[in-house]
Amino acid sequence: MTRDAEKELPRNMTEMLSVKEAPDGTIERSKTFRLLCAVVSTKPEWDWWQLDYTQAYTNAELPEDREVFVTFPPGIMGSSKENPQHARLRRSLYGLADAGLQWYNTLNTQLQDYGMERSADDLCLFTLREDSKVMVLVIVWVDDVLLCGDPRCTKELLDHLEMKFPMRREKPGSFLGVRIHREEDTGQVNIDQSRYIRDALTKYGMEECKTRSVPAVDDPALFTKAGQEGVGTREHRERVEAYRGILGTLIHLTLWTRPDLAFIIGAMARHCSNPTELHLTVTRGILRYLRGSVDCSLSYGVTDRTDQLMAFYDANYAGDRTGAKSTSAFVILLNGAAVTYSSKLQTVVAQSTTEAEVIALAECTRAVIALRGKLEAMGLRQPPETVINVDSQTAIHLAHRPSNGPRSKHYAVRLKFLREHVDRRTVRIVYIPTQHNISDLPTKLLSKVKTSIFRDIMSGKEPVVYT
């Protein structure tokens, strides 16, 4: 047994079979999952299946240069404390540090041998083409697989996969805690985490709490870092543990199906190391908001049946009260609902509202370009120009201006990037009134009326308003 293997492995097989870890570097992103749902909603004729491999990790063979040994428990194969017996593993087991990676490599080889192409943007996205036309899409999360495509090609692929490893297939119902519902006649797809929210409310004793219409109210103390008084005490440790537990639940919701929480969760995440009692109260207030909107879902193909991307961006100048940094946000819709959204502090302190807007616009443009490439790989060709809706006339003017003025030289690189893609007609920047810019919600806390309106538009319940 090698010394590295001895340090890495549990002492017996019982311990090894009790742990299941995700593969390192091969995690299907929530953005890809939402894109798949949006693409499927544009193709009602496609079949859609969910696969669950049985004991997936044990199906993976370890490479010859990977020497892993286990110690048998006493009484097994003549092993005892005085005379332990060892064996070299030929197949992966749950609990190995790279068990998920070995399974992924096995499944990747099987899919590529069948003729599928792996995406360069997301290593867990695979496509099958016939005559340059995408016929099947597959996304992978460890032993859970979503497969959709042309009925004939889908059936052939399923038959091929079932011949290799045992698995269970069914119509998608729940994928990684996200509930999926598809209307067979229209192709409309709804995804939500209502069950996850109800479980979280029960876990934290708030299943009967009063509801609220906004995640939080604007308070300067929310965005101010706490002092060091009381750090290290038992009360502080208990508060940190409770805060991180609730916040982790909320982050998971935000990443998958709740773009309306992007701003407040990003702000609260900056206080993980030293939250105050006010911060803990705010996280519980967000749970109250979730109880009032527990059935909120992302609905693709309900209000706006289009296979064209539509982007919105905004910036909140100097919104960070601690460091005076601005907040950039964008929301990108496809087939009526959000497929990508972001809310984060800018890395530099903008010296004007114009600079903050240009930085945010450049970030949105990069996201649009990346999505166009991924949708192209998924067989959903985009028009020559993707519309980005902007509520800043100055940003629109600068993006079309052929040269830089003295007040824009320090962010000239971003402007050149924007102008290049405007000139190439990759993006088209158009004006939208602020009261209709849905990306205003991920930049700041809004009133309950605006929160409700923008949330419904992002989730696909209401159509986009332009004027």
Domains of the chain: 3-169 (no CATH), 194-292 (no CATH), 303-458 (3.30.420.10)
How far, in Å, CA of 265 to CA of 285, rounded? 12
pLDDT at 404 over 60: yes
Rounded to whole angstroms, what are the CA distances from 268 to 12, 293, 344? 42, 20, 12
Question: Tokens representing 457?
Answer: 């538009």
DSSP secondary-structure letter at 148? E
pLDDT at 231 over 50: yes
Are 341 and 331 within 8 A, CB to CB?
yes
Rounded to whole angstroms, what are the CA distances from 257 to 30, 52, 192? 9, 22, 6
How far, in Å, CA of 378 to CA of 307, rounded? 12
pLDDT at 235 over 70: yes
Work out the average pLDDT over 151-161: 95
pLDDT at 54 over 90: no
Which residue type sits at 302? V
- The whole-number pLDDT of residue 73 equals 87
- The whole-number pLDDT of residue 407 equals 67
How far, in Å, CA of 17 to CA of 196, rounded? 27
- The whole-number pLDDT of residue 11 equals 35
The beta strands (E) that lie in 199-336 are given as 298-300, 310-316, 327-334
- The whole-number pLDDT of residue 7 equals 38
Question: CA dihedral in degrees (344, 350, 355, 360; nearest 10)?
Answer: -10
- The whole-number pLDDT of residue 298 equals 97
- The whole-number pLDDT of residue 305 equals 74
Work out the pLDDT band at 264, boundaries 50, 70, 90. Answer: very high
Q: Where are the alpha helices (DSSP H) in 168-233?
A: 194-203
Are 268 and 283 within 8 A, CB to CB?
yes
Question: Tokens representing 372?
Answer: 């166009």
Question: Tokens representing 128?
Answer: 């099958």
Angle in degrees, 0-180, between the axes of helices 234-256 and 194-203, rounded to the nearest 10: 170
pLDDT at 155 over 50: yes
Work out the average pLDDT over 206-216: 95
Work out the average pLDDT over 414-440: 94
The beta strands (E) that lie in 366-444 are given as 386-390, 427-431
Higher pLDDT, 409 or 263: 263
Higher pLDDT, 304 or 72: 72
What percentage of the chain's residues is helix, strand, coil (to nearest 5)?
40, 20, 40
pLDDT tens readout for residues 325-348: 999 999 999 999 999 999 999 999
Are 342 and 330 within 8 A, CB to CB?
yes
How far, in Å, CA of 255 to CA of 297, rounded? 13
Instruction: Give the CB-side neighbour count of residue 24, counting CA atoms within 13 A.
Output: 5
Work out the average pLDDT over 266-271: 93
Work out the pLDDT band at 6, boundaries 50, 70, 90. Answer: very low
Q: Provide the CA 194 distance to its chain's centre, in angstroms.
A: 17
DSSP run (H or E) holding 132: none
How far, in Å, CA of 279 to CA of 221, rounded? 9
Closest by CA to 360, choosing from 439, 416, 441, 285, is 439
Average pLDDT score, the chain = 88
Are 88 and 12 within 8 A, CB to CB?
no
- The whole-number pLDDT of residue 403 equals 65
How far, in Å, CA of 411 to CA of 358, rounded? 8
- The whole-number pLDDT of residue 307 equals 86
pLDDT at 454 over 70: yes
How far, in Å, CA of 103 to CA of 61, rounded? 8
Q: Cβ neighbours of residue 165 under 8 Å, at least 6 residues apart? A: 53, 54, 56, 59
Which of 11-15, 219-223, 410-414, 421-425 is least confident?
11-15
- The whole-number pLDDT of residue 412 equals 81
Work out the average pLDDT over 290-301: 95
Closest by CA to 330, choosing from 40, 28, 27, 31, is 31
How far, in Å, CA of 379 to CA of 55, rounded? 32
Work out the average pLDDT over 155-179: 92
Q: Where are the alpha helices (DSSP H) in 194-259?
A: 194-203, 234-256
228: exposed, middle or buried (Cβ count in 10 Å: 0-12, 13-18, 19+) = exposed
Which range scores top for mean pLDDT: 18-22, 183-187, 188-192? Answer: 188-192
Which range scores top for mean pLDDT: 18-27, 160-169, 304-313, 355-364? Answer: 355-364
- The whole-number pLDDT of residue 230 equals 74
- The whole-number pLDDT of residue 433 equals 95
